[in-house]
Chains A and B, each alone.
Chain A
Amino acid sequence: MRDIAVAFLASLWSADMPLPNRLLPQAFQLPGGGMQLEWHAGSDHVEVSIEASGVVGLYIDSTSGSFDVEVVPSRSPIPRVLFETIQRITTAAWDAHAAR
């Protein structure tokens, strides 16, 4: 489970996401041994549910709509909308922290 989460974050923070700063997700345990990673800021919400079976559920909710899909790590590409939403959340979080 941890390996899948680490591999997922490594993919997310690869050269495809050229932000100087990274934003750690909030992690919640799923019953049965899974893990859910979440990012939230304003109207942007991302949930990455890593099921005990190894399947990963991606859920994105933003002003442009919601997106719900299952992917199999290493076999399915990470959808572009996930990168874009996490980029917006990261930017919002860093901007807010810089202003404090």
Chain B
Amino acid sequence: MSSASDTALRRTSLYERHAAAGARLVPFSGWEMPVQYTGIRDEHLAVRRDVGVFDVSHMGEVQTCGPQATAFLQHVLSNDVRRIPEGGAQYSVLCREDGGILDDLFTYRLADCDYLTVTNAANHEKDLAWMQERAAEFDVDLIDRAPELAMLAVQGPRARDLVRGLADGRLPPRMHCCQRDVAGVPMLVCGTGYTGEDGVELLLEPEHAPAVWDALANAGATPCGLGARDTLRLEVCFHLYGNDMDERRNPIEAGLGWCCKDETGFVGSATVAAARAAGTPEKLVAFALQGSGIARQGNPIHGGGAVTSGTFSPCLERGIGMAYVPADRAALDTRIEIDVRGTVRPAVIARKPLYQTKGP
């Protein structure tokens, strides 16, 4: 990651809101983003118990349209794109030929031949270039929509009620999307999120984001930063690209085989199918520390492997995380020992999700 001092950091259209609220702003994937407002634990618990709002405008978007939009996305995305209904959503990964994961993505089918794919900020340019290279053989148009779209995530057990109260119609069910006015602003409302709670994600023009942010906050949504976003996703074992997988890992070892439909012949499917059949040397597992202490990314595990994400779980009140371990030591309930800066901390491999939400 480049240092903040010599790189101009980009700011979302909500920067003034974050600064005025006293948020702690940090460099993240080339953006200056709020890591917390009042405190990670408070924000985390607000989302688990009530409702929180996150500015995730750093995320990128690629629109794919044209007669062969479905065929093209079926070629590059790992999941079975044909199974997304109009107004539906689907998770997938983008793989290299050798199965290395380029990114993980949500794709929304806006119309029969019109899709919107949400990318990770750090991967957006790479994803777009990769897709454009492979689009030549297809009758499709790829449009970089990242500059034109802000993104807000409203998450928590009260999220839908809160947003519904500001909307001009019913909200889309889980894993669906639709066009709505919220707080008088037209936007794409998506029944998705990264917290394990029910809620929606809103894609809208950046210039309108501050007014919508204010309306959500005034209606009772707690402003939340990327710190809570990370602890929330880790409690429910959602992957973070760059931590839990990257181009050196294939979807099988990353535990993402479920979103790879090898029979569609997507780029990388041969390698994925081979890894699925043969198994992989390592597997990504979730763990909880048995005693005190907090394991962090990079901490080695005795017998092989390392922690890829580690934090303190505000709901479980203990250290949790994910790690790659040798496949023969990846079974549930296996005891592992993590070297936390020289101190051996016992942990146990646990079922995903580590924290069971009441759920959407």
The answer to whether A and B belong to the same complex is no
Interface residues of A (CB under 8 A from B): none
